[in-house]
Amino acid sequence: MSVGIRHDDLRRRNRAMVISAVRRASQPSRTEIAATTGLSHSTISTISSDLIAEGILAEAKSNEPVSMKRGRPQVALTLEPRAASVVAVVLSLNSLSAAIIDYAGNTVVEETTRLVTEHMSGEALTDECVAMIRRLTESDDAAGGTVLRIAMAVQGITDAASRKLLWSPITRHDDIPFADRLEQEFGVPVTVENDCNMIAEALRWRDPSRYRDDFIAILLSHGIGMGLVIKGELFTGTQSSGAEFGHMIHRPDGALCRCGRRGCIEAYAGNYAIWRNARLGDENAEPLADLSDDDIRSLADAARDHDGPEREAFRKAGEAIGFGLGSMFALFDPAPLAFVGVGATAFDLMEPHVRAAIAKTAGGLHSKAISFDTEPNEVPLKREGAMMRALLHVDQEIFAAGSAPRRADADVA
Amino acid sequence: MSVGIRHDDLRRRNRAMVISAVRRASQPSRTEIAATTGLSHSTISTISSDLIAEGILAEAKSNEPVSMKRGRPQVALTLEPRAASVVAVVLSLNSLSAAIIDYAGNTVVEETTRLVTEHMSGEALTDECVAMIRRLTESDDAAGGTVLRIAMAVQGITDAASRKLLWSPITRHDDIPFADRLEQEFGVPVTVENDCNMIAEALRWRDPSRYRDDFIAILLSHGIGMGLVIKGELFTGTQSSGAEFGHMIHRPDGALCRCGRRGCIEAYAGNYAIWRNARLGDENAEPLADLSDDDIRSLADAARDHDGPEREAFRKAGEAIGFGLGSMFALFDPAPLAFVGVGATAFDLMEPHVRAAIAKTAGGLHSKAISFDTEPNEVPLKREGAMMRALLHVDQEIFAAGSAPRRADADVA
DNA sequence: CAGTATTTTTTCGAGGCTCGAAAAAAAGAG
DNA sequence: CTCTTTTTTTCGAGCCTCGAAAAAATACTG
């Protein structure tokens, strides 16, 4: 049962609200914050002056947009960049990247490397992460606030506690405890989360008007991933990161999936599946290990150019996605969709079939009204999502709790 | 954005916690409540004496279980039955029932009627509900607390705000605004919710050790319904009651479903589908309108007796359910299951096929560990669920807020 | 049977938090 | 230079929860 509310929780929650209001709005004044939170002006005044004294917020002195209004001008509040920093790590098939980000969300340093993840053990992968983070934190550019949190976005299934990678297509090894090792190395809390969930988180911040309480991000790539936001919350499994759209069953005992099972949506709509259908015409052929983005683009060009197996392969992919979405919509009603990744460049070939399939399902009543959007480049989204996760945690768990000031140089102000 | 916490919210929430602790535990003492809520003894003491003064709680004087312990004996707190009452209405195919329930959860009066819902308009159905509730509230037995809330459990899809029945198999009419009409008639808040969601709510109270944070109730009846609890919350759609397991797609463009579409799980596992497969062997035959429970039982007997079309029909049903569950488990991991309704009496015929299908899906790793339970009689569950919904609302929204005492005779104590 | 030990419940003052009202601050308008 | 308007801060009042101590109610002990 959830625990009672103590008196000091109250302050903590209201501090959290103020911080979150500042992060969300561009540069709100105290008055605006009072309006959005519903708290009184006096409370907001007290809390924000505390936060400024602690070096978490700052008054934006710089630009004068010349209010042109009578009365005392509003003072815009901002996040103090030096209040803290976080590290966002993105680990994907054959690629690792990391960045240090300041408290205001600006990237301070970053690095990206190619590595052959398929042939690496869990330990080797962790070592690479440790080494890269260490290079970044020790680089000269990494001045500013102390690192208070590290967030990883990885391809694959993570556990519900965000501590380890349970299974991933990028390596043959299971149960890689990234969080434990990284916490040990760097002495700050670490989370490991599924990359598609991070994509969803990022979309929320990129375009809050479109992606707010309910939406679906689908990653069309070698495999098929999904990040799901329902009722304003990231939807995860009870034990794992969940939302494995790609492994919902499209056709019982159907095409051979990379996961070894049969009939998964991914076995029709993953890059390898589209290539297999177009080039081999054999649903049971062993999935290819890797496939370049160009391979997919040329399949798409061929499909656009003339009728043939390529076009049919994209049709099957669209159909699988559409029926899968229809099944999901039976559970929680239709929601706006974002298709992310290379596959999004070929989405024009799939869209009519996606819609046609949805129309045959319970969600079909509104099939035409469902909004589709595409974003070919998933890499920045993954990083932004991991960054936001880390920053929000600092906001809510560390700074909202108060106590000591965190800024490296709190006495400057 | 969610609103800040004011000072009086604090009291309201903590009052809510105390009430909920009393409703949950059998007869907790103040000390136990302090332990479960984490609040201090003094706070619990203040709040509970307030609640007693307001006639919401009472000290259980009666039975002495002879604590056999040294020290001042604990005083058990109970819900004061006369603090309020609620009405629970259950509307199903050709059947309407309602009951008045006191604040402690005891049924005061009840009534059940058969009616031919299929041929009734929305207005006629509402009229029947109004008439039955009026009979109950005006009956002599209905002494006790004032009715503070009415909760309906209906077969079909309701809207997310729990105000109307959007679509139902029990009538050909759509969009029936039960809540508006009943509120107008009786002057108390009314909710209309999907019956399977109420079944899930009821299971939580019947067996909290088994069904708590994550579980699935599946109603095997003429159609297939589901009530889903994830992370301690009833899972509903964003616009509708959602969780329409029966209309997830099992086989694209497959068997003809009662809903007019093709390949839904229900079109393989609903009573009509099992009967159709067993007796007609034609998946495209128009679904029968009604089918008695005995029809299903005799199909099950035949299937147990010898191999043949009956056994095959149950196999197909089990397979459809299993693949459907597998797809769901890809989204949120496996959870304990309760199979409710007539179909549960034939579940022995389906279980191996359900498990075999799950084993072929992403949830399959733990397929043997997933617990199945059956409960043939869904009717009391629906009523209990509606009752609990109504009572919890009174707890949380009305009594937690405080202000005036609600008891009919608050000065008796 | 009286006194002691033990456990539960209540009482009471202290400390925090938010709120409303009023004051102070900071501009533009005339 | 004064008035008006709007934002922000200050200050006392009113709640709420907490810890400690007191009160209450029972079993144990000799």
Q: How far apart are CA B18 and CA A346, in angstroms?
A: 57
d(CA B180, CA B161): 12
pLDDT value, residue B375:
97
CA distances to A30, A36, A39, A68, B279 from A22, rounded to whole Å, are 10, 11, 14, 23, 66
Supply the CATH number for residue A56's domain: 1.10.10.10
pLDDT tens digits, A293-314: 999 999 999 999 999 999 999 9
The pLDDT assigned to B240 comes to 95
Residues in chain B with CB shorter than 8 Å from the CB of A41 are none
Q: How far, in Å, CA of B41 to CA of B34, rounded?
A: 6
B322-373 pLDDT tens trace: 999 999 999 999 999 999 999 999 999 999 999 999 999 987 777 778 999 9
Verify that B331 and B279 share a domain, yes or no: yes
Domain assignment of residue A89, yes or no: yes
Is A2 a member of any domain?
Answer: no
Determine the average pLDDT of the residues in A14-26: 95
A404 Cβ under 8 Å from any chain B Cβ? no
- Per residue in A336-361, pLDDT tens? 999 999 999 999 999 999 999 999 99
pLDDT-derived band at A66 (thresholds 50, 70, 90) equals low
Mode of pairing for the β-strands spanning A215-220 and A190-194: unpaired
What's the pLDDT band for A140 if we cut at 50, 70, 90? confident
Statement to judge: residues A218 and A295 lie in one domain: yes
The CA distances from residue B10 to A8, A10, A191, A252, A300, in Å, are 11, 8, 32, 52, 59
Residue of A nearest to B239 (CA): A333
pLDDT band per the 50, 70, 90 thresholds, residue B409? very low
Which of the residue ranges A258-272, A362-376, B337-351 would you say has the lowest mean pLDDT?
A362-376
pLDDT single digits (tens) A77-115: 999 999 999 999 999 999 999 999 999 999 999 999 999
- For residue B225, what are its two tokens? 């319904």
Q: CA-CA distance, B306 to B294, in Å (whole number)?
A: 18
Q: Amino acid identity of A265?
A: I
* A293-305 vs A347-359: helix crossing angle, rounded to 10: 70
> A142 vs chain B: nearest CA distance in angstroms?
34
Classify strands A215-220 and A337-340 as parallel, antiparallel or unpaired.
Answer: parallel
Indicate if A261 and A311 belong to the same structural domain.
Answer: yes
Whether A186 and A258 map to the same domain: the answer is no
Within a domain: A356: yes
Output the pLDDT for position A404.
42
CATH of residue B279's domain is 3.30.420.40
- Average model confidence (pLDDT) for chain A? 92
Q: Are residues B354 and B300 in the same domain?
A: yes
B252, A357: Cβ pair inside 8 Å?
A: yes
Q: Are B103 and B185 part of one and the same domain?
A: yes
Q: What is the mean pLDDT of residues A136-159?
A: 91
Is residue B204 assigned to a domain? no
A360 and A243 in a single domain? The answer is: yes
8 Å CB contact of A37 and B13: no
Q: Is A326 on the interface with B (CB under 8 A)?
A: yes
Six-digit token string for A7: 């008196």
Answer whether A13 sits within 8 Å of B20, measured CB to CB. no
Q: Indicate the range of A188-202, B4-18, B204-218, B393-407 predicted with least confidence.
A: B393-407
**For residue B46, which nucleotide's C1' is closest to its Cα?**
C10
Choose the weakest-confidence range: A29-33, A287-291, B242-246: A287-291
pLDDT of residue A144: 74
Burial class (CB in 10 A: 0-12, 13-18, 19+), B409: exposed
CA A273 – CA A267 distance, rounded (Å): 5
Q: How many domains does chain A have?
A: 3
Which one of B212, B216, B238 would you mutate to disrupt binding with A, by most A Cβ within 10 Å of its Cβ? B238
For A7-11, A18-22, B100-104, which range has the lowest pLDDT when averaged over its residues? A7-11
Return d(Cα B191, Cα B150) in angstroms, integer.
7
Q: Which of B330, B378, B331 is nearest to B223 (CA)?
A: B378
The per-residue pLDDT of chain B, averaged, comes to 92
Any bridge partners for residue A100, and if so which?
A87, A109
Residues of chain A with C-beta less than 8 angstroms from the C-beta of B157: none
The Cα-based distances of B25 to B55, B79, B208, B336 in angstroms read 19, 11, 11, 23
Judge whether B407 lies within some domain.
Answer: no
**φ/ψ (deg, to 5) at A233:** -120, 140
Interface of B with A in 94-113 (CB under 8 A): none
- CA separation for the pair A205, A185 (Å, rounded): 30
Residue B389 has pLDDT above 90, yes or no: yes
Which of the four pLDDT bands, split at 50, 70 and 90, describes residue B412? Answer: very low
Query: Do B254 and B361 lie in a common domain?
Result: yes
Q: Which residues pair with A321 in a beta bridge?
A: none
| Structural tokens at position A91 | 């680990």
**Nucleotides of chain D within 7 Å of a protein C-beta?**
4-12, 14-21, 23-28
Instruction: Mark whether A248 and A384 lie in a shared domain.
Output: no
Query: How many Å apart are A299 CA and D26 C1'?
Result: 85
Pairs across A and B, CB distance < 8 A: 160
Q: From CA B389, how far away is CA B391, in angstroms rounded? A: 6
Contact criterion met (CB below 8 Å) for A202 and A234: no
Residues A193, A68 share a domain: no
Structure confidence at residue A403 (pLDDT): 63
Model confidence at B408, pLDDT cuts 50, 70, 90, reads very low
pLDDT at B410 over 90: no
Cα of A385 vs its chain's centroid, Å: 4
Contacts of A238 in chain B (CB under 8 A): 213-214, 230-231, 332-333, 335
What's the angle, vertex CA A274, arms to CA A269 and CA A275, rounded to 5? 150
What pLDDT score was predicted for residue A63? 61
Whether residues A193 and A220 share a domain: the answer is: no
- DSSP, collapsed to helix, strand or coil, labels residue B165 as strand
Which residues of the protein are close to the nucleic strand C, CB under 7 angstroms?
Answer: A 7-8, 10-11, 14, 38-43, 46-47, 66, 68-73; B 4-7, 29-31, 41-42, 45-46, 48-49, 69-75
Query: At residue A151, what is the residue type?
Result: A
Q: Which residues on adjacent β-strands are paired with residue A340?
A: A219, A375
| Domain-embedded: residue B337 | yes
Tokens for B36, please give them.
């479960």
Do B69 and B104 share a domain, yes or no?
Answer: no
How does pLDDT run across B102-159, given as a tens digit for each residue? 999 999 999 999 999 999 999 999 999 999 999 999 987 777 789 999 999 999 999 9
Instruction: Give residue for tokens 């009715």.
Output: B147
- Measure the CA–CA gap between B376 and B373, rounded to whole angstroms: 10
Of A19, A49, A79, the residue that ends a domain is A79
pLDDT attached to residue B413: 28
**Domain boundary residue among B57, B79, B101?**
B79
Which residues are CB-contacts of B53 (< 8 A; sequence separation ≥ 6)? B405
- Per-residue pLDDT at B365: 72
Other beta carbons within 10 angstroms of residue B292's beta carbon come to 10
Per-residue pLDDT, B289:
74
* Nearest residue to A199 via CA among A327, A389, A400, A6: A389
pLDDT tens per residue across span B156-198: 999 999 999 999 999 999 999 999 999 999 999 999 999 999 9
Asked, for residue A411, whether it belongs to a domain, the answer is: no
What residue has token string 């967030």?
A: A151
- Return the structure tokens found at A79: 């996040």
User: Is residue B190 in a domain?
Assistant: yes
Is there a contact between B258 and B270 (Cβ–Cβ < 8 Å)? yes
- The boundaries of the domain holding residue A51 are 7-79
State the pLDDT confidence band at A200, using cuts at 50, 70 and 90.
very high
**Phi–psi pair at B249, nearest 5 degrees:** -90, 125
Among A46, A63, A79, give the residue marking a domain's end. A79
Can you give the length of chain B in residues?
Answer: 413
Q: Which of A137-146, A249-258, B294-303 has the lowest mean pLDDT?
A: A137-146
User: What per-residue confidence (pLDDT) applies to B271?
Assistant: 96
Using CB atoms and an 8 Å cut-off, which of residues 341-360 of chain B contact chain A? 357, 360
- B71 pLDDT band, cuts 50/70/90, is confident
Q: pLDDT of A34-51, one tens digit each?
A: 999 999 999 999 999 999
Q: Residue B403: pLDDT above 50?
A: yes
The candidate with the shortest Cα–Cα distance to B331, out of A317, A157, A198, A344, is: A157
* Structure confidence at residue B63 as a pLDDT band (50, 70, 90): low
Cβ neighbours, 10 Å, residue A124: 13
